[in-house]
Amino acid sequence: MSKNLVIVESPAKAKTINKFLGHDYLVVSSMGHIMDLPKSRLGIEVEHDFKPEYIVIPERKKHLETLKKEAGERTVYLAADPDREGEAICWHIRNALDNGKRKFKRVEFDEITEHAVREAFKHPRDINTKLVNAQQARRILDRLVGYTLSPLLWKKVSRGLSAGRVQSVAVRLVVEREEEIRKFRAKEYWDIEADLKRKADEPKAKFRAKLDKHKGKALEIHAKHEADHIVEALKKERFIVGEIRQSKKRKKPYPPFTTSKLQQDAFNKLRFPASKTMHVAQGLYEGVELGKEGSVGLITYMRTDSVRVSKDAQADAKHFILEEYGKKYYPERPNVYKSKKTAQEAHEAIRPTLPLRDPNSVKEYLTPDQLKLYQLIWRRFIASQMSEAVYAVTSVDIKAGDYIFKASATKIVFDGFTAVYEADKDKEEDEAKATLPELSVDEPLDLLELFPGQHFTKPPPRYSDGTLVKALEELGIGRPSTYAPIIHTIISRDYVIRESGYFKPTELGGIVTRLLTEHFPKILDVEFTAKMESELDGIEEGDVDWLITLRSFYSPFIHSVEKARLDMKDVKKEAVPTGELCELCGRPMVIKWGRRGKFMSCSGYPACKHAKSITSGVKCPNPGCDGELVLRRSRRGAFYGCTRYPKCTYITRKLPEKEVPEAKAGPAEA
């Protein structure tokens, strides 16, 4: 019989670790959290220093009994993930299994490799109560806000709604961005470009320059008549080469991935939503079956805000780069990156556990999504250890009377890290396409054609998974483990919909945000939320008392709640007439708010329960169909379907819009 029991969170992780430890160890899974606050009530004794009432999760009761039997008289090693959540899982398991006789030891590792696991078991420690307290403080804060504000929304808007300490701030960002877009008014502006060539060259050797200044000042053109006037003036001018500047631009490699940067890059390059990125990364971390090797963890822990890299990983990367690319692709000194102040430097960046294991060597064992994400992580890490890229940049001023045109070209001198990884590929390709002939100062040029172009300023873009995660990180809201759950929550609550990859607030999201912002300005304040995150970090470091944090938060919060119960507008009672009559009883139909937004209901409710969705007012595009599109929801998210379903099965993720082509002037010949 094994002397020791090892408990991890997941079966996949248990399977990978099991092969590293000998017969003296039995590795089992806890299946995640064993204990939590009850779902049916607050579960916090506010009057007794916010004492939490933890219960065994009903679905885990039988499993807990199995764990107790497995523990027997063994020493129990708690090996959950190396973060607050993992520490709390270990703490709960110990409390549930502790019978006064068993010994408990905590082990942690950032990667599931034989070396890392064996080293962790050589250096077990006690459970870190500071980490546990930080997790408890977050859990209690979120419970206090959620279980207090949600019933208020049920009373004032509709049953089934929810509010959250961080999720509501994220919705506010999306709502405010939509408001910016709505208020945006496009401004017209024009630019003028010229096709030029050297006197001795053929027309096909032309190059393009852009009008930049007039009489030494930056030129702004606001209307067509201004552009036409300048074009006519330029046709009469001689074009002469002015100043020529040659320079070298050095581009440093990017640091290896943190959680937020991985989520951003995976969205931008692979179009993975944040939740999908984390799900796929979890599988790569916990272990993938690699034929005869068995289950192997391919990446380090994927919830991190650190860019630190171990010396062993640096050495492996160096070996690979020298072997595959040569000496000039490796810097004189290893690249070292600086993490932000709040980063947990005990952790590493997200990297391949074995840098020598390139994506092609494991391709046959991975799913398409796993391969794509592993390639992204592997390339980013290898590139982070490589030499910088070097570009030769030529910039030319071209004089045309009082006007100055600018032309530039960028040439790659040494590709460096970009041989493996490029962040802005499209931009770099556009720069590389621009070429210039060999020009000399005061050389006259031939004007071939002038191109006045009309443009309009664009509104700020809606948030995507990548840009919302970036905004949350920059504002200090949430932490690596919370970005994906935040996005999942605001979508599942129907406060936000994903439309063509971008987030748009629902009408429900807008009204809930307005009500909460009006009555709980502090809770929905970005700076206040960021300050709370910093305090939670302080608890983890042992610099802040978690009870003091809870007390200072709760007193003003509950005062605002009591005031809002009296003052908050009762949207539920606002029944707006529609002019329609109920198909069942003939009473007037009215518009009300529900958990999924506005809907039409019989004014005779509850005697008559007839209700129906409100259409978008957009006609169904199917030929011969007289239905309209209505917003519907499924497990895969929101979509628009025809009111004539099932006769008409037309569906779309985005409402059809009339496209207005951008006005553009044609070329003006010289």
Residue 541 to residue 344: CA distance in whole angstroms: 10
Strand 104-106 relative to strand 75-78: parallel, antiparallel, unpaired?
parallel
Query: CB under 8 Å to 372, separation ≥6 — which residues?
Result: 270
Q: Is 301 a catalytic residue?
A: yes
537 alpha carbon, distance to own chain's centre: 21
Residue whose tokens read 């991985």: 262
User: What is the Cβ-side half-sphere exposure of residue 132, based on CA atoms within 13 angstroms?
Assistant: 16
The helix (run of H) or strand (run of E) holding residue 319 is helix 311-324
Residue whose tokens read 């239905």: 627
Query: CB under 8 Å to 141, separation ≥6 — which residues?
Result: 165, 532, 549, 550, 553
Residue whose tokens read 């990017």: 254
Catalytic residue among 54, 285, 301, 421: 301
Residue 4 contacts residue 77 (beta carbons within 8 Å): yes
Omega within 30 of 0 (cis) for the link into 58: no
Residue 425 to residue 122: CA distance in whole angstroms: 45
Angle among Cα 629, 631, 636 to the nearest 5 degrees reads 125
- 75-78 sheet: strands from edge to edge: 25-29, 4-8, 75-78, 104-106
| CA distances for 281 relative to 256, 271, 413, 623, angstroms | 15, 15, 36, 44
161 alpha carbon, distance to own chain's centre: 24
Any bridge partners for residue 562, and if so which?
Answer: none
Residue 195 contacts residue 208 (beta carbons within 8 Å): yes
List residues with catalytic annotation. 301
